[in-house]
Structure 1
């Protein structure tokens, strides 16, 4: 693995651990005699229940992340025409992270995403989240944490268990 890829994985891992999220412009409100007021929402990594639901929706699309990155403009428009509701639902799962909000507000949030957020922002946010949802870069971290687990029995503790 070259240095550039390693740095990218480390940066994304740090962002995921800090739960920083991706800020997406929601709507521009134009006020007379003032600058436009830009409303923004922050898409964060969903918790496990939302992640499972998001993964189900993503797998129902039948398209991989590599294929999405290679879309032409016409293919992207055709993709949004056929899978627009599912994409907005995926984005809604990143906005409604709690158990109650996921149960009650995902449908309304998906409607807001479809009607208020620009298509370019939705597609870019979806691509970045699909890339961040993988677990391959974190397998080394998981192995390291497993080795340094303080609850695991050490060599001298196997006989007595204390």
Structure 2
């Protein structure tokens, strides 16, 4: 692994730990007498445990792996979008609506993503956020908990006890 890739991975890990999220554009609006369009952006943050469970449940309910999706032909892609398009928008909405407002805003945000956001932004957001999800952050925490477990017998003690 080269130095630039290692730094990018470290930067992404730091952003994930700080819960800065991933900023993505949702919609561009053209305003008269303005050179550049106005971009509506939103930040995808790592959801709380309930959101992670819902995100994972929705992802697993599709029953498709990334390798299978890469091998899709055009007909399979259209079939996948027809069957699972609303689930993809719901997964992205789970990443946008974090916290106690999730239940209130999840359906309208999901609808907005489905009807107003370009498909390339949806695909990029889903791909980027799925790459940030996983159990990798928990491995070091579990390792630390194993080491500091007060109920685990210490190796320095005699087999007879104290």
Q: TM-score range by the shorter chain?
A: 0.7 to 0.9
Question: Quick one: distance in 1 between partners of 2:71 and 2:113?
Answer: 24
Whether the 8 Å contact between 1:65 and 1:130 is mirrored in structure 2 is no
Task: Give 1:134-145 correspondences, 5 Å limit.
Answer: 134-135=134-135, 137-138=136-137, 140-145=139-144
* Cα deviations by residue, 1:5-44 (Å, 9 ceiling, x for unpaired): x936544432321212111111111111102111101111
Worse-superposed segment, 111-120 or 11-20: 11-20
Q: Check 1:125–1:146 CA distance in 2 against 1; reply closer, same or farther (3 A cut).
A: same
Gaps of 5+ in 2: none
Tell me which structure has the larger Cα radius of gyration: 2
Equivalent residue, structure 2, for 1:58: 59
Unaligned runs of 5+ in 1: none
**Greater share of helix:** 1
Q: Which moved more, 1:72-81 or 1:104-113?
A: 72-81
Answer yes or no: is the 8 Å Cα contact 1:58–1:90 preserved in 2. Answer: yes
Aligned length: 154
Residue 112 of structure 1: aligned partner: 112
State whether residues 65 and 131 of structure 1, in contact with CA within 8 Å, keep that contact through their aligned partners in structure 2: no
What value does the CA root-mean-square deviation take over the aligned residues? Answer: 2.9
| Aligned CA distance change for structure 1 residues 70 and 142 (closer, same or farther; 3 Å) | farther
